[in-house]
A and B are shown apart, each in its own frame.
Chain A
Amino acid sequence: MARKTPAGGARRAEMLSLLAPTSAWLVVFTVIPILMFVVYSFWTVRNQMIFRELSVSNYVRFFTNPMYPALLLRSLIIAFGVTVTTLVFSYPLALKISRSRGRLKSVLYMLIFIPLMTSYIVRIYTMRLVLGSNGVLNNFLLFLGVIQEPLQILLFNRFAIFLTLCVILSPFMVMPIYSSLERIPRSYIEAAQDLGSTELQIFWRVIFPNARPGLIAGCMFIFVLSLGDFMTPILVGGKQGTTLSKVIQVNFGFAYDWPLGAALSVVLLSISMVIILVSNRFGALREV
Chain B
Amino acid sequence: MNEILRLENLSKRFDSVVAVDSVNLSIYNGEFLAILGPSGSGKTTILRMIAGFEKPDSGRIIFDGEDIAEVPVNKRPFNTVFQDYALFPNLTVFHNVAYGLSIRRVDRREIRERVHEALEMVALPGYGERYTDQLSGGQRQRVALARALILRPRILLLDEPLGALDLALRKQMQITLKQIQEKVGITFIHVTHDQEEGLSISDRVAIVHQGVLQQVDTPRRLYFQPSNRFTAGFMGENNMIGGRITSIDSEKVCLDSPLGPIRSRQCLSCRGLGVGDEAVIIVRPENILAGSAAATAANSFKAVVRRRVFTGSEEKMLVATEAAPQLELMIKLHFIQHDDQAVGLEDSAGVQIGFSPENCWIVGAERGQGNG
Direct contact of A and B (CB under 8 A): yes
Q: Is A10 an interface residue (CB 8 A)?
A: yes
Complex contact A5–B72 (CB within 8 A):
no
Residue of B14, B54, B72 touching A10 (CB-CB under 8 A): B72
Within 8 A of B (CB), among A1-60: 3, 5, 8, 10
Chain A's nearest CB lies how many Å from the CB of B108?
A: 29
Contact at B72–A3, with CB atoms within 8 Å? no
**Nearest-neighbor residue (CB-CB) of A8 within chain B:** B55
- Hey, which chain A residues are within 8 Å of B55, CB to CB? 8
- Residues in A with CB closer than 8 Å to B53 are 5
State the CA gap A3–B12 with chains docked (Å).
14
Q: Which residues of B contact A5 (CB under 8 A)?
A: 53-54
What 0/1 pattern do residues 283 to 326 of B give for CB contact below 8 A with A? 00000000000000000000000000000000000000000000
A interface, over-half SS:
loop
Least Cβ–Cβ distance between B223 and chain A, in angstroms: 33
Interface of B, helix, strand, loop or mixed by DSSP:
loop
Instruction: Determine the chain B residues whose CB is within 8 A of the CB of A3 once the complex forms.
Output: 14
Inter-chain contacts of A8 with B (CB < 8 A): 55
Q: How far is the CA of A149 from the CA of B54 in the complex (A)?
A: 79
B72 to chain A: which residues have CB within 8 Å? 10
- Min CB gap A216→B, angstroms: 31
How many residues of chain A have a CB within 8 Å of chain B? 4
| Distance in angstroms between the alpha carbons of A10 and B53 in the assembled complex | 15
Q: Type the 1/0 row for B53-73, where 1 means its CB is closer than 8 Å to any CB of A.
A: 111000000000000000010
What CA separation (Å) do A8 and B55 show in the bound complex? 11
* Residue on B nearest A6 in the bound complex, by CB: B55
Taking CB atoms and an 8 Å cut-off, the chain B residues in 61-115 that contact chain A are 72
Report the separation of the CA atoms of residues A24 and B350 in the bound assembly, to the nearest whole angstrom.
Answer: 85
Question: Which chain A positions have C-beta within 8 A of B54?
Answer: 5
Q: Could you tell me the distance between the alpha carbons of A5 and B72 in the complex, rounded to whole angstroms? A: 12
Hey, which chain B residues are within 8 Å of A10, CB to CB? 72
Rounded to whole Å, the gap between the CB of B329 and the closest CB of chain A is 40
B202-216 contact mask (Cβ, 8 Å, vs A): 1 or 0: 000000000000000
A3 to B55, CA, bound (A): 12
Q: Name the CB-closest residue of A to B70.
A: A9
**Complex Cα distance A10/B14, Å?**
23
**Binary per-residue interface labels of chain B (258-280) against chain A in the complex, 1 for a CB within 8 Å, 0 otherwise:** 00000000000000000000000
A198 to B308, CA, bound (A): 47
A8 to B72, CA, bound (A): 11
* Chain B residue at minimum C-beta to C-beta distance from A11: B72
The minimal Cβ–Cβ distance linking A141 to chain B, given in whole angstroms, is 59
Q: How far is the CB of A9 from chain B (nearest CB, A)?
A: 8
B70 to chain A, nearest CB (A): 8
State A53–B135 Cα separation when bound (angstroms): 72
With A and B bound together, what is the CA distance between A5 and B73 in angstroms? Answer: 12
**A5 to B49 Cα, complex, angstroms:** 12
State A162–B14 Cα separation when bound (angstroms): 54
- A10–B74 Cα distance when bound, in Å, is 13
Residue-wise interface mask of B (10-54) relative to A, using a CB-CB cutoff of 8 A (1 in contact, 0 not) = 000010000000000000000000000000000000000000011
- B102: min CB distance to chain A, Å: 22
A5 vs B12: C-alpha distance when bound (angstroms): 14
Cα-based distance from A19 to B125 in the complex (angstroms): 45
Once bound together, how far apart are the Cα atoms of A16 and B53, in whole Å? 21
Chain A residue, CB-CB nearest to B72: A10
**Interchain CA distance A10-B71 in the complex, whole Å:** 11
User: How close is B46's CB to chain A, nearest CB, in angstroms?
Assistant: 16
Give bound CA distance, A5 to B52, whole Å.
11
Within the complex, what minimum Cβ distance (angstroms) separates B139 from chain A? 27
Closest to B73 in A: A5
> In the bound complex, what is the Cα–Cα distance between A8 and B54 (angstroms)?
12
CA distance in complex: A5, B14 (Å): 12
A81 to B81, alpha carbons, bound, how many Å? 59
Distance in Å: Cβ of B277 to nearest Cβ of chain A: 40
User: B71 to nearest A CB, angstroms?
Assistant: 11
In the bound complex, what is the Cα–Cα distance between A5 and B55 (angstroms)? 9
Q: List A contacts of B14 (CB < 8 A).
A: 3
**Cα distance, A32 to B14, chains bound together (Å):** 39
Task: Please list 5 pairs of residues, one from A and one from B, whose beta carbons are closer than 8 Å in the complex, sorted by A's number.
Answer: A3-B14, A5-B53, A5-B54, A8-B55, A10-B72
Q: Which chain B residues have a beta carbon within 8 Å of chain A's beta carbons? A: 14, 53-55, 72
Which residues on A are within 8 Å of B, measured CB to CB?
3, 5, 8, 10
A-B CB proximity, top 5 nearest: A3-B14, A10-B72, A5-B53, A5-B54, A8-B55
